[in-house]
A and B are shown apart, each in its own frame.
Chain A
Amino acid sequence: MAERAGPTAGRDRPTAGRAGRLRAAYGAAPWHLVLVTAVIVLAGWVALRLAQEATFGRMLLWFVGAVIAHDLVLFPVYASADRVLRAVVRDRVTLLNHLRVPALGTALLFVVYSPGILRWGETTHEAATGQTQRPYLVRWLVLSAALFLLSGATYGLRAALGRRGSASRARR
């Protein structure tokens, strides 16, 4: 998350006058101050309202926790997994990508459908639908296997065609 502020762009020229001084001291154009203040006030107002809820602490935890889970857990995990994968396949980039694509597909399906796959909510799921959450895990595994198989098959095909191509080039 967190990009560097854009309209630090405000510092066009050392404009004289109050507006110029504000711009220099604040670090962006005055409208920027108005805009971000409005957003923070809105969020603050919502937070104050919600502060009366008994579960406010949990909501806050999930809000901040979601950022931490993404930036400091999910990202490092998938970035490191990719690093390991790259180290293993070395410079076989085509192979690398034929592994990356199904792995990403598998991970994506898991991230989105994990509540069903991990059966978080058996009772509520059953009360609502009259069915259990049992099938999802197997279905996810089958889908993932299909992704890897498909990718593997196209890789094999590419490799075979590539060999034929280079063989015919060699004959010429």
Chain B
Amino acid sequence: MPVSRPGPSGSGTRATDADGYGAPRRFWRGLAQHAPPGVDAVERSWRSPLRGPWLTAVYGSVLLVALPLVIITGLLDYAAYGPQFDQAFPTNVGWLRLPAFDWPTRPSWLFRVTQGLHVTLGIVLVPVVLGKLWSVLPKLFDWPPARSLAQVLERLTLLLLVGGILFQIATGLLNIQYSYVFGFDFYTAHYFGAWIFTGAFVAHVIIKFPRLVTALRSRPLGTELRTPRAATRPEPPDPDGLVAAEPGPATVSRRGAVGLVGGGALLLAVVTIGQSLDGPLRRTALLLPRGRQPGTGPNGFPVNRTVAAAGVRPEQTDASWRLTLRGGGRTVTLDRPGLLAMAQHTADLPISCVEGWSTRQTWTGVRLRDLAALAGVADPASARVSSLEKAGLFRTAVLAPNQILDPDSLLALRVNGVDLAPDHGYPARVIVPALPGVHCTKWVAEIDFRGQADG
């Protein structure tokens, strides 16, 4: 071996066979002895005196707490699409299916919070992930790369772990900025990528948890956060070899390193959170599409798909527009004055996009349950809402019974006291509490109610 590292020892892990090679021993030992040229130099080039189990454990604990939230809110996003109606993408997921349940309509800010958390946390954790990877990077260049089958397999799972998180971050970030340079289906990639990552994450946590606890206990956080740069010393050599063999003098304290990552997270938070806030703070999302309001006035809030992009033409939405209601063999058609003549209901509801941004507006229109009753389906099992849009993944959406019957679920005709703008779905759009924005169908043409009896 080119460099002598303390073998795995201490904390009850004393190696029996001092070198710690698995079978076949001769192979692993031979591999260790045949280091490619340069390994030595690389080994000595790791100079940071900050790398060590403690710092890795601090970054690791932040991820240990926050990543499960990202995973859960991501899976909830899938559930919010209504997989029971085959409208969550990807549709065909084999046994990676989630338990079926009707996505609730209350609290009305539910999806705003879950998806806002998913995207915001995902962004804010980027510096923590980068810091964590920085802290363990020398391991990538270790020689020998493995001393046993156990290490080979574990390294493979680490490839899945690191590849998984970077893949999820990259696809997520590109998606929220409408950049589809990757050229594959985002949903398929992000959903299956999530499972690969989650598996590797769970295993990594189980394997490393004892190390994490030992490392955190090795230096009290309070003391560490009071230690200035001048007093910062490398950690003692550790069994995993994170501590540099020849550390240089500290240019940053451990407190500084934690602060740097924390500061990065804060910086990203400051320029991201605005997309989930209403009022003047919205503009603070300086580098994201939803920090900018597309206009002023009652209809001046963000859009997710413009009328032009949807290909809905003005002559489709003029006075000749009709809403078709179907249910139990009955068909009812209504024009816009007819709808306006029905009982109107007003609700303050957020519209929350799967891409993480949201905004609360005041919507006025006809209750969906009144329309169901008009179609003769008082006890609906589902409603398929179709748009004038001819193409697009979301030209139709199926609503569950609770989403039809909620008193605030509307076919909205007006917003903030004026008619909907074309970009917001004029002549009529759906708005349902806690429903992902993409399922709040715009430019509605038809609603097909199915009764419980229709099966």
Please report A residues at the B interface, Cβ cutoff 8 Å: 1-14, 24-28, 32-33, 35-40, 42-43, 45-46, 49-50, 53, 55, 58-59, 62-64, 66-67, 69-71, 75, 86, 93, 96-97, 101, 104-105, 108-109, 111-113, 115-117, 120-121, 124-131, 135-136, 139-140, 143
Contact = CB atoms under 8 A, between A and B. Distances in A.
B177 A116 contact: yes
A14 to B, nearest CB: 5
Q: How large is the interface on B (under 10, 10 to 19, 20 to 34, 35 or more residues)?
A: 35 or more
Given A121-B174, A121-B180, A143-B287, 18 more contacts: A1-B159, A2-B136, A3-B208, A6-B208, A11-B8, A26-B23, A27-B147, A40-B157, A50-B192, A69-B166, A93-B251, A104-B264, A112-B126, A113-B287, A116-B289, A117-B287, A128-B178, A136-B287
Nearest to B28: A27
Contacts of B127: 108
What DSSP secondary structure best describes chain A's contact surface? helix
Contacts of B211: 6
B330 interface: no
A53 B191 CA distance: 14
- Among the interface residues B160, B166, B206, which one has the most CB atoms of the partner chain A within 10 A? B166
B196 A46 contact: yes
A128 B305 contact: yes
Contacts of B160: 39-40, 43
Contact of B184 (A55, A96, A97, A105): A55
B452 interface: no
Interface string B10-43: 0011111100111100000000000000000000
B213 to A, nearest CB: 12
B207 A32 contact: yes
Interface stretch (B110-118, B148-156, B321-329, B396-404): B148-156
Contacts of A24: 16-17, 22-23
B349 interface: no
14 contacts: A2-B142, A7-B207, A36-B203, A39-B203, A43-B196, A55-B185, A59-B188, A67-B163, A69-B166, A71-B137, A108-B126, A116-B289, A120-B181, A124-B179
Contacts of A1: 133, 136-137, 139-140, 158-159, 161-162
Interface centre among B139, B151, B256, B294 (most CB of A within 10 A): B151
Given A1-B159, A63-B193, A115 B15 contact: no
Contacts of A6: 154, 207-208, 210-211, 240
B206 A35 contact: yes
Given A1-B140, A7-B207, A8-B8, A62 B126 contact: no
B286 interface: yes
Contact of A58 (B162, B184, B240): B184
B208 A67 contact: no
Given A8-B20, A108-B127, A70 B200 contact: no
User: Which residue, of B17, B163, B171, B260, has the highest number of chain A Cβ atoms within 10 A?
Assistant: B163
Contacts of A128: 178, 289, 303-306, 309
B94 interface: yes
B167 A140 contact: no
Interface string B170-201: 11011001111111110011001101100110
B286 to A, nearest CB: 5
Contacts of A53: 184-185, 188
Contact of A139 (B130, B134, B155, B287): B287
A87 B132 CA distance: 25
B207 A37 contact: no
B271 interface: yes
A127 to B, nearest CB: 3
Nearest to A70: B166
A115 B177 contact: yes
A66 B170 contact: yes
A27 B134 CA distance: 27
Contact of B305 (A11, A127, A131): A127
B134 A12 contact: no
B252 interface: yes
Nearest to A27: B148
A131 B133 CA distance: 36
B263 A101 contact: yes
A147 B419 CA distance: 44
B268 interface: yes
Contact of A121 (B178, B203, B242): B178
Given A1-B158, A12-B13, A93 B229 contact: yes
Contact of A33 (B15, B134, B153, B302): B153
A27 B22 contact: yes
Given A2-B155, A46-B195, A121-B180, A143 B286 contact: yes
Contacts of B423: 130
Contact of A109 (B185, B199, B208, B271): B271
Contacts of A69: 166
Given A4-B139, A53-B188, A42 B195 contact: yes
Given A7-B207, A26-B148, A129 B294 contact: yes
Given A35-B207, A101-B260, A139 B286 contact: yes
A165 to B, nearest CB: 16
B267 A140 contact: no
Contacts of B229: 93
Contact of A4 (B22, B126, B142, B153): B142
3 A-B pairs with the lowest CB-CB distances in the bound complex, closest first: A27-B148, A27-B22, A127-B309
B58 interface: no
